[in-house]
Amino acid sequence: MKKLTYLLLSLFSASAFAQDVSEQRVRTVISTLASDEMKGREIGTPENDKAAEYIAQLFKENNLEYCTGKSYLVPFNYKGKIAYNVCGIKKGKSEKFLGFSGHFDHIGVNNKSDDNIYNGADDDASGITTLVGIADYFKNKKPEFSMVFMAFNGEEKGMLGSIAISEDKNLDPIYNNLSALFNFEMVATEAEFGKNTVFITGDEFSDLDELFNKNAVNGLKIHPDPYAKQQLFYRSDNVSFVKKKIIAHSISTADMSKITHYHQANDDMSIVNSENMTQIINNFAKTLEKLSPKNFTPKYNDKVKFD
């Protein structure tokens, strides 16, 4: 009997462990997006299209449903050509949605003779890896909230992709039920607050961080924006949804006081702390498991500007 009990406990422990996203998975996704072969993923290039197709394949692996049409690829016009956002849905127990986003484009290459590729590992392959990690975690689960995963294009050219998809009327059934959007922007390094921590832009505009932190597990914490004077809340893709009066904040770990790789060629795998990223992804997902429309209904206050 003792052997049977031990076996059952071992199987349970292995099953519980298997639910976690592995560090190897994190490194595989971020290194693929930030590889030299992707040539900086600038919108309008074949490599940008290749990145979109790769993310679509990851969504397919996680059995996500299409947001609209018959593809994860959601087209929009860029200089007379077709560019793509990527969007997938995980149905939960409720019609209410939580959203997870990041941008997959970066700034391409330069004309220097040495390292001329802006790989964009932190900016923002790390954000895409985080939302993919959350999708991985929930692949075989049915969360309380339904979930929408959006990989935006054209952020570096003025948030073109998030603007386009936020205005797509075909997605209004999702947006009308979207309780909050977590936009992951540069989460590849350790935050100034230490491991297993992030900060939120525009924390003074809603109670999202307070509600999240009440349910946070394993020491994960969302800190207030230490760079509020830089107005980061209004400078990333989340603002496209703020304009729709949807709760939308960016989540980051970037230490802006000493960052040296922002829009530089050294934003590659050498600066990625995959161990910390993996810990954040798993703890974020485990916290999300505790959230429901009953205990997580964030609201804006009168400080936010919608236009």
Nearest to 68 by CA among 2, 4, 144, 150: 150
Spatial separation of the C-alpha atoms in residues 60 and 259, rounded to whole Å: 35
Tokens of 195: 């491991």
Ramachandran angles phi, psi of 256, nearest 5° = -65, -15
The model's confidence at residue 4, banded by pLDDT at 50, 70 and 90, is very low
Please, how many CA atoms are within 13 Å of residue 267, restricted to the half-sphere of its CB?
Answer: 28
| Confidence bin at 12 (pLDDT 50/70/90) | very low
Element (H, E) at 145: none
Q: Write the DSSP string, 187-213.
A: -SS-BTTBTTEEEETTGGGBSHHHHHH
| pLDDT tens-digit series, residues 181-217 | 999 999 999 999 999 999 999 999 999 999 999 999 9
**DSSP secondary structure, 55-111, as one string:** HHHHHHHTTPEESBTTBSEEEEEETTEEEEEEEEEE--SSS-EEEEEEE-----B-S
Say if CB 6 and CB 109 are below 8 A apart. no
- State yes or no: pLDDT of 1 exceeds 70: no
What's the distance, Cα to Cα, between the start and end of the chain in Å? 66
Has residue 8 got a pLDDT over 50? no
Per-residue confidence band for 167, with pLDDT thresholds at 50, 70 and 90: very high
For 101-110, what is each residue's pLDDT tens digit?
Answer: 999 999 999 9
Q: What is the average per-residue pLDDT within 87-100?
A: 98
Query: What share of the chain in percent tops pLDDT 70?
Result: 94
Tokens (6 digits) for 245? 């009066």
Question: What pLDDT does 182 receive?
Answer: 98
Average pLDDT, the chain: 94
Extract the tokens encoding 295. Answer: 């205990």
pLDDT tens sequence across 42-69: 999 999 999 999 999 999 999 999 999 9
Where is average pLDDT lowest: 30-44, 148-162, 183-197, 223-237?
223-237
